[in-house]
Structure 1
Amino acid sequence: MEEHHSSRVRKDAGKSSVEPSSPEETGFVVHFFWGSGCPHCKEEKEFLNTVQAKYPRMKIIDYEVWYDKEHAALLSKMAAAYGITTAGVPVTFIGKNSVIGFSRHSKKELSAFFQECSLRQCPDPADIMSGSALIAKAPAVSGESQAGDVECTEKGKAVYIPWIGNLDSSQMSLPVITVVIAGLDSFNPCAFFVLFSLLGLLIHAKSRTKMFLIGSVFVFFSGFIYFLFMSAWLNLFLVMGQVDLITKFAGSVAVVIAVINIKDFFLFKKGISLTIPDSAKPKLFDRMRKLLKSTSVVSILIGTAVLAIAANAYELLCTAGFPMVFTRILTLNNLSSAWYYFYLILYNAVYIIPLSIIVILFTVTLGKKQLTEHQGRLLKLVSGAMMLALGGVLLLNPTVLSNAFISFILLIGALIVSLAVAFMTDKLKPS
């Protein structure tokens, strides 16, 4: 089997195309699309190598699609020619047939197709894609349930989400990663500082309604600004494509930010520190005081929105690594635009949960609970440890993030280590 591409993949006028092969020369041609690190793709590769000994006139042309943008585009083009939607890899095209995924069922189907094409002439899928051969638009044979994201497909039940599509219950890695990373990112010391300060000033107004209104608007705009910020990262990574260097860059930035956050636990605000600078705090407090004097609901809403935008400009520096890591992980999956933004919305919905809880508790208790400096430093240690783990994985082996169990163990391990370090540090402090 030819690795990544074959001599029949050529570049013409800057575009990748497949040169139709001669049935007389090769017998029949199989086009096999796979992803690096996909276990089901590996299984099918082994199966194809075994079958090739039985059919010496069978020619297999394979394409890695997760890290090769041209091959991914070629898969989309060939799938469109067959009238199918590729929901995962591996995807195999043979004659007029296509098979998505790999299982016992698809193994039998592939064997039947190979047998059929060995007895009679089958068109090269490249000819079908170029339009020189025609097929009926029949549903593809699927060895698996089609998921909403292009990952190794596994047999499982699909859940339909309106306007988004099917989500395979066996492919929960990306949703799990989304919730976990967003949950970590949501404990943002900078965001907590601004919100606690704002609500603290509002206590003097002695109006729970005003406190809840301003707090809620602040939280909403914080999430909205974060969504726009992440959308910018997402589109930047999509334009750059699935280039390994971009993944390394995102991982490197995450590691640097993680190290600075971990440093802040031990040496708070000494040296380089990703916190709201003291020089910026007077301006933020001045905006907060102006809100207290506002009586018009419209002016309160506008003032709170402006404050949220100004505060978030500083807050982004605190945990910029998490959005960058997450959006890069997202673009390593070949999803539709609807799915990309679904995950961004899910991320930001999780992100604002702790801030919303703070607003509710502050409104009910009128500010009896405050965030201490020690708690802020602990948040930096935990977020730094987990960001370090994610950044390290992006640098060393990003494919492991497609495994929900490994991703969960990785993040839980980082949490345990950071809490253990915090506990030991407190114990070793002189009385």
Structure 2
Amino acid sequence: MIKNFSKWLLIATLIFITAFLAFAVTVSASEGEVELHFFWAKGCPFCEEQKVFLEDLRDKYPDLRINDYSISEQSSIDLLTGFIEKNPDAERYLGSVPMTFIGNNFFVGFNQEIGQRIENAVIRELSGNDNSKEEDSFSLPIIGDINVQDWSLGALAITIGIIDGFNVCSLGALVLILSLVFTLKSRKMILLFGGLFILITVVVYGLLVFMWHQLFSVLGPHLLAMRVFIGLASFLGGIYFIKQFLKFRKEGPVCESAENKIISNATKKIEESFKSKKGILSLLGGVIVFATIVTIVEFPCSAVFPVIFAGILSQADLSLGMSLFYIGMYLFFYMLDELVIFLVAVFTQKIWITSGPFMTIISIIGAAILFYLSFYYLFVL
């Protein structure tokens, strides 16, 4: 199954590259002219910076028409008032400059981040997306109806993070560490080694998600290619989780990567370390290496969720700080089930783990979410 999914991931990557090359020129080939309205004032340093930026934007996108207005003129103020009437959310910024309107979007002020958001809005308009707000909803097993307009990045981070967290391989690795630590018969040791395993897992997994986010941020201006990639990756991921669901129903949840030679060797070494009761520093080093290996090697098994989340997050035009906040939220809910198992082990000296039927249900919910995302990114946006 892992080999098959790796093939799917490779195919999706190749399709993405093809789509990237094919759609990189979409903007220049688009039909019709798009208008950008720029309101500025004399003596405003940010306005001067944006003027330079807009000149570069005009050269880059020949079909972009830039209209600039000085608010020192009454006719410009009247025009600005008209735009604000169409965009009520902009009313509280009346009097602020620079102010930019394009399609259904408005931008106040200017810096590098706002410039990127303006360019993204230009690309969306040129590619035929009028940014209209549609009421889209979908239904998930157990969860019920979800309206896409209400499905914020926070809700997305929580939902996908929780489902991604029910990873048989990662849970199995934590249970292994806890069972080995139990032989030391010390609550402090359970807290130390179990906590270290979870911490290293979060750090390594978080770095992998962040790397994908940064990659997508670089490719962000090519929005259409990004949507095709996210849509196709979601579709392939949905197929993978449907197969997982059918297999779990028949055989029960099983970690297929446990048969991987790298993980198998790492497991044997960590078991030998605890059985021989090596020094605490040696055991700590062993746990760090084991957690790192398991997290990296098993990443392809569930890569579709963090990769898709990183792609969606990169299109939200957020600051680096806010992006890290949402990645942190995703990681917290990704590790929530392991935190519960860990805390139960610390306080009760027993290992509790979710049931097989529950893991099976989670897999079909994950498939439903992925198929929805595929439909939304390929046919709605």
Instruction: Give the TM-score band, short-chain normalised.
Output: 0.5 to 0.7
Q: Residue in 2 aligned with 1:19?
A: none
Q: Tell me the secondary structure at the aligned position of residue 95 of structure 1.
A: strand
Q: Tell me the secondary structure at the aligned position of residue 288 of structure 1.
A: helix
Tell me by how many angstroms 1:353 deviates. Answer: 2.2
The answer as to 2:265 corresponding to 1:265 is no
CA distance 1:372–1:109, change in 2 (3 Å): closer
The answer as to 2:184 corresponding to 1:213 is no
Match of 2:165 among 182, 186, 196: 186
Tell me the alpha carbon deviations over residues 212-234 of structure 1, each in whole angstroms, 9 at most, x when there is no partner: 21111111111111111112211
The answer as to 2:250 corresponding to 1:276 is no
CA distance 1:79–1:278, change in 2 (3 Å): farther
Q: Residue in 1 aligned with 2:143?
A: none
Q: Residue in 2 aligned with 1:62?
A: 35
The answer as to 2:323 corresponding to 1:362 is no
CA distance 1:261–1:274, change in 2 (3 Å): farther
Q: Residue in 1 aligned with 2:310?
A: 327
Residues in 2 aligned to 1:320 and 1:227: alpha-carbon distance in whole angstroms: 12
The answer as to 2:208 corresponding to 1:246 is no
Residues in 1 aligned to 2:329 and 2:226: alpha-carbon distance in whole angstroms: 24
The TM-score with structure 1 as length reference comes to 0.54
Q: Residue in 2 aligned with 1:383?
A: 366
**Greater CA drift, 375-384 or 218-227:** 375-384
Are 1:258 and 1:321, in contact at CA under 8 Å, matched by a contact in 2?
A: no
Higher relative contact order (CA 8 A, sep 6+): 2
Equivalent position amino acid for 1:288 in 2: I
Residues in 2 aligned to 1:383 and 1:171: alpha-carbon distance in whole angstroms: 19
CA distance 1:137–1:103, change in 2 (3 Å): closer
Are 2:84 and 2:90, in contact at CA under 8 Å, matched by a contact in 1?
A: no
Identity %: 21
- Judging by fraction of residues, say which structure has more helix: 2
Residues in 1 aligned to 2:195 and 2:100: alpha-carbon distance in whole angstroms: 50
Equivalent position amino acid for 1:289 in 2: E
Q: Residue in 2 aligned with 1:195?
A: 174
Are 1:82 and 1:137, in contact at CA under 8 Å, matched by a contact in 2?
A: no
Equivalent position amino acid for 1:304 in 2: V
Residues in 1 aligned to 2:331 and 2:300: alpha-carbon distance in whole angstroms: 17
Equivalent position amino acid for 1:185 in 2: D
Counterparts of residues 15-414 of structure 1 (less than 5 Å) = 61-62=34-35, 80-81=49-50, 94-97=68-71, 104=85, 138=97, 140=99, 173-241=152-220, 242-268=222-248, 275-280=256-261, 282-292=264-274, 293-397=276-380, 399=381
Residues in 1 aligned to 2:233 and 2:89: alpha-carbon distance in whole angstroms: 47
Residues in 1 aligned to 2:170 and 2:179: alpha-carbon distance in whole angstroms: 14
Q: Residue in 2 aligned with 1:10?
A: none
CA distance 1:360–1:249, change in 2 (3 Å): same
**Greater CA drift, 98-107 or 185-194:** 98-107
Tell me the alpha carbon deviations over residues 212-269 of structure 1, each in whole angstroms, 9 at most, x when there is no partner: 2111111111111111111221122122233312321222122212212221222249
Are 1:230 and 1:327, in contact at CA under 8 Å, matched by a contact in 2?
A: yes
Tell me by how many angstroms 1:314 deviates. Answer: 3.0
Equivalent position amino acid for 1:200 in 2: S
Equivalent position amino acid for 2:216 in 1: F
CA distance 1:101–1:317, change in 2 (3 Å): farther
Are 1:186 and 1:351, in contact at CA under 8 Å, matched by a contact in 2?
A: yes
Tell me the alpha carbon deviations over residues 353-377 of structure 1, each in whole angstroms, 9 at most, x when there is no partner: 2211211112222224234444443
Tell me by how many angstroms 1:277 deviates. Answer: 4.0
Gaps of 5+ in 2: 1-24, 28-32, 38-45, 54-65, 122-130, 134-148
CA distance 1:313–1:334, change in 2 (3 Å): same
CA distance 1:100–1:230, change in 2 (3 Å): farther
CA distance 1:100–1:139, change in 2 (3 Å): farther
RMSD: 4.5
Residues in 1 aligned to 2:176 and 2:351: alpha-carbon distance in whole angstroms: 13
Q: Tell me the secondary structure at the aligned position of residue 340 of structure 1.
A: helix
Tell me the alpha carbon deviations over residues 102-160 of structure 1, each in whole angstroms, 9 at most, x when there is no partner: 654867999xx9xxxxxxxxxxxxxxxxxxxxxx9946499999799969899xxxxxx
Larger radius of gyration: 1
Are 2:157 and 2:329, in contact at CA under 8 Å, matched by a contact in 1?
A: yes
Residues in 2 aligned to 1:108 and 1:238: alpha-carbon distance in whole angstroms: 27
Tell me the alpha carbon deviations over residues 157-213 of structure 1, each in whole angstroms, 9 at most, x when there is no partner: xxxxxxxxxxxxx99822222222222222222211211222123222222211121
Residues in 2 aligned to 1:356 and 1:309: alpha-carbon distance in whole angstroms: 17
